[in-house]
Amino acid sequence: MYDSDMTEKDTILELYKKMTDKAHRTMKYILHSGNDRFEAIKEKLLDHFHGDETTEKSLKKFKKANRKPGEKIYDFAIRLKELFRYAYPKNYEEDSFQIILKEKFIDGIDEKLQMKVKYKEFRTFDELVAATRKYSVRMEAIESNKERHEFVNAINQTSHPNNSEIQEIKQIVREQYETVNAIASALKPGNKQAEETATDQSEIANCIQELSKAVSFLLTIDGKQQHVQKQVTFQNQMPNFQPTYPNNGNSLRLPYKPFI
């Protein structure tokens, strides 16, 4: 543990909180057997979970060890140090072997963190770990702030379309408006072309629907830039397009309402 102010009892309790269910059962067994000192408990746990591992297996694990996604710097350091201890049981405390541990630690973290500590001198492994953790916290804060700004900018760009987009939408509205007016004029009573034009009711309905969508979208955009005093919804003006026939039964009449 890295907090020198903690008592041995607090250290054991903190260790117990971080254990898996399997380790909990082993810990209870060790405590019931009368071992209540931290060093004794630590030795028993290591022997239980790593006692059957050979030096060769531990060395392979040590060489392959890398910091896992989301793993804290201290957690990775502790895990790597334990593997190192079993990989080099007779020499792991020697200064020359501590260099191997520090090099492997740097090799196991991501490239951005590597560049912060790779070319600096650290007397001990613990100093290296502490410095790496400090840089990691700073970089995470910078990255979080950057992502927040990118998110806000993306929302602003979506909420405020440029003038060319608005002009394009207005052009579509004008074209659809002219098409609907032409159809409405053709369907006025007395127009000989009405009978032929009115037979394609699906085309009329589609035009009205497209115009309604375009107007609604344009109003939504313009509403963010100026106060809209009155919204025109073509779906309210023509909720159900159904051609009706007068009593004489000869010519087709379209329910007509002004579009302005």
The one-letter amino acid at 32: H
Q: What is the pLDDT of residue 3?
A: 53
Examine the pLDDT at 232 and tell me if it is beyond 50.
Answer: no
Structure tokens belonging to residue 234: 């073509």
Q: What is the pLDDT of residue 140?
A: 85
Q: Which residue has the higher pLDDT, 42 or 1?
A: 42
DSSP 71-132: --HHHHHHHHHHHHHHHSTTTTTSHHHHHHHHHHHHHHS-HHHHHHHTTS--SSHHHHHHHH
Which of 17-26, 191-200, 226-235 ranks highest by mean pLDDT? 17-26
Examine the pLDDT at 252 and tell me if it is beyond 50.
Answer: no
Q: What is the pLDDT of residues 118-163, one digit of tens each?
A: 899 999 999 999 999 999 998 888 877 777 767 667 666 655 556 6
Q: Which of 19, 113, 32 is nearest to 73 (CA)?
A: 113
Q: What is the pLDDT of residue 109?
A: 94
Would you say 166 and 221 are in contact if contact means Cβ atoms under 8 Å apart? yes
Examine the pLDDT at 185 and tell me if it is beyond 80.
Answer: no
Q: Which residue has the higher pLDDT, 242 or 45?
A: 45
Architecture of domain 54-159: Orthogonal Bundle (1.10)
Examine the pLDDT at 228 and tell me if it is beyond 70.
Answer: no
CATH code 1.10.1200.30 region(s) in the chain: 54-159
Q: What is the pLDDT of residues 73-125, one digit of tens each?
A: 999 999 999 888 888 877 777 888 889 999 999 999 999 999 999 899 999 99
Q: What is the mean pLDDT of the chain?
A: 72
**Sole residue written with tokens 């072997």:** 97
Q: What is the pLDDT of residue 231?
A: 44
